[in-house]
């Protein structure tokens, strides 16, 4: 196997072996605590601009299949694992993780002490980094790392949104059974939407049309939807002025449901502010308290930015969910407009299903608005 090297912007160097594409990749390195679901993670568009470290020690043992991808391709910049399993076994598997990464031109490194790396990121925060299989002089690579762009101020949505409008139809082999009759028409603004969100919307009786992130409010309103969904997506929400303005013009005119980046965009559209978390929330085991019921949901999360809840008018909103690890806001609803959002991923994939009731809440909101 080819040698590989991971260099962080603080000068930390990890040596290892390549199991992905040859070359170099630049990105912010973060850690994900999910034990399974690596295929869904690497195809999540929210990871654009990032190198993902898996904290679970062995990755690749069940290969890659046709059903579990969450977007049209791999969007993350690179993958870091402790041990890559060269043998894969699963009845749905079609190829190895290594082959899949090579086909998608994504570098990956194994043999890294991911526990040490994770502790470093928790202490110092997410950092810029490079994985390289072609250059091994740390000082030269470190110079490249420091010159590479960070996430703050970058519009990464334009690199992941589908440029064309399309109708979503769950494929017959997908595991969700879809209803024969679609009662509601939903427009999903694609900032990097995951397929399982679209599957679940269809599963509750929605006819889903996915539009590019730059679609103006007038175009969306002309399609006369029953509701508008704001999708997840990568990076800093503040540069997305075009989406923020679209949402601002939709407020009060159509029911709105936002997830992850959609949560942040709704917050900005309401006049709030966002900030960058130290190392983000990435994994499938984050505890979130539903304030109305007092119940604790175990949630799937993937974000590096957060809404500053104190920047919003408390008379206009109701805080609905709170993160029990760091007390950051995980959800709110508007008291006047038919709009609500959560910071985490109720559609999971991978992760627990505790929060899927939120899709039914969206359905109820559209019913009430009608």
Domains in the chain, start-ordered, CATH in brackets?
Answer: 3-147 (3.50.30.20), 157-369 (3.40.50.880)
Above 60 in pLDDT, residue 174?
no
Q: List beta partners, residue 54.
A: 32
Could you count the other beta carbons within 10 Å of the beta carbon of residue 11?
11
Q: List beta partners, residue 329.
A: 322
CA gap 7, 134 in Å, rounded? 13
Quote the pLDDT of residue 170. Answer: 76
Quote the pLDDT of residue 173. Answer: 46
For residue 193, the 8-state DSSP code is: -
Q: List beta partners, residue 287.
A: 298
3-8 and 127-132 beta bridge pairing: antiparallel
- The residue whose two tokens read 């985490």 is 344
Quote the pLDDT of residue 6. Answer: 98
- The tens digit of pLDDT for each residue in 309-367 reads 999 999 999 999 999 999 999 999 999 999 999 999 999 999 989 999 999 999 999 99
- The tens digit of pLDDT for each residue in 87-144 reads 999 999 999 999 999 999 999 999 999 999 999 999 999 999 999 999 999 999 999 9
* Structure token digits, residue 318: 């109701």
Reduced to 3 states, what is the DSSP secondary structure of residue 127? strand
Above 70 in pLDDT, residue 176?
no
Could you count the other beta carbons within 10 Å of the beta carbon of residue 80?
28
Quote the pLDDT of residue 1. Answer: 74
Quote the pLDDT of residue 370. Answer: 79
Going by pLDDT thresholds of 50, 70 and 90, the confidence category of residue 16 is very high
Q: Which residues are catalytic?
A: 260, 345, 347
Going by pLDDT thresholds of 50, 70 and 90, the confidence category of residue 182 is confident
CA gap 306, 98 in Å, rounded? 33
**If you average pLDDT over residues 142-153, what whole number do you get?**
94
Quote the pLDDT of residue 171. Answer: 59
Instruction: Give how far Cα 184 sits from Cα of 117, 206, 216, 356, Å.
Output: 46, 5, 21, 18
**If you average pLDDT over residues 69-79, what whole number do you get?**
96
Quote the pLDDT of residue 179. Answer: 59
Contact 331, 362 (CB under 8 A): no
350 prior amide bond cis, ω within 30: yes
Among the residues of the chain, which ranges form H helices?
Answer: 38-42, 97-103, 114-124, 138-147, 195-203, 217-222, 241-250, 261-269, 357-369
Quote the pLDDT of residue 180. Answer: 55
**If you average pLDDT over residues 154-182, what whole number do you get?**
79
**If you average pLDDT over residues 294-323, what whole number do you get?**
96
CA gap 200, 150 in Å, rounded? 33
Quote the pLDDT of residue 177. Answer: 56
Quote the pLDDT of residue 57. Answer: 97
CA gap 282, 94 in Å, rounded? 27
Q: What is the mean pLDDT of the chain?
A: 95
Quote the pLDDT of residue 178. Answer: 58
- The tens digit of pLDDT for each residue in 225-259 reads 999 999 999 999 999 999 999 999 999 999 999 99
Above 50 in pLDDT, residue 172?
no
CA gap 261, 369 in Å, rounded? 24
Is this structure's pTM higher than 0.85? yes
Distance of CA 112 to the CA centre of its chain: 24
Contact 66, 92 (CB under 8 A): yes
Contact 329, 319 (CB under 8 A): yes
E strand segments, 142-226: 166-167, 184-190, 206-212
């Amino acid at each position: 196997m080819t040698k590989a090297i991971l260099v962080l912007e603080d000068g930390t160097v990890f040596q290892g072996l390549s199991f992905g594409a040859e070359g170099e990749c630049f990105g912010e390195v973060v850690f994900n605590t999910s034990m399974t679901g690596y295929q869904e993670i690497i195809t999540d568009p929210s990871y654009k601009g990032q190198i993902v470290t898996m904290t679970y020690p062995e990755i690749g043992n069940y290969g890659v299949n046709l059903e579990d991808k969450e977007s049209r391709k791999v969007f993350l910049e690179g993958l870091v694992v402790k041990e890559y399993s060269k043998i894969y076994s699963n009845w749905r598997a079609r190829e190895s993780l290594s082959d899949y990464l090579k086909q998608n031109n994504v570098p990956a490194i194994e043999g890294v002490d991911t526990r040490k790396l994770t502790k470093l990121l928790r202490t110092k925060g997410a950092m810029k980094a490079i994985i390289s299989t072609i250059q091994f002089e740390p000082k030269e690579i470190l110079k490249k790392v420091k010159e590479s762009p960070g996430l703050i101020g970058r519009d990464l949505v334009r690199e992941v949104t589908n440029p064309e409008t399309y109708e979503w139809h769950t494929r017959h082999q997908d595991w969700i059974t879809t209803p024969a009759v679609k009662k509601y028409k939903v427009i999903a603004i694609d900032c990097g939407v995951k397929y399982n969100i679209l599957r679940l919307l269809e599963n509750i009786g929605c006819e889903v049309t996915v539009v590019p992130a730059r679609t103006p409010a007038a175009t969306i309103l002309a399609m006369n939807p029953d509701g508008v969904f704001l999708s997840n997506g990568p990076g800093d929400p503040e540069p997305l002025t075009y989406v923020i303005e679209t949402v601002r013009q939709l407020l009060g005119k159509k029911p709105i449901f936002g997830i992850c980046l959609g949560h942040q965009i709704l917050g900005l559209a309401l006049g709030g502010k966002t900030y960058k978390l130290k190392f983000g929330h990435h994994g499938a085991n984050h505890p979130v308290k539903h304030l109305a019921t007092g119940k604790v949901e175990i949630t799937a999360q993937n974000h590096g930015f957060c809404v500053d809840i104190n920047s919003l008018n408390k008379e206009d909103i109701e805080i609905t969910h709170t993160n029990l690890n760091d007390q950051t806001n995980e959800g709110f609803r508007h008291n006047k407009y038919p709009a609500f959002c959560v910071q985490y991923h109720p559609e999971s994939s991978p992760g627990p299903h505790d929060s899927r009731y939120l899709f039914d809440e969206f359905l109820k909101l559209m019913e009430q608005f009608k």
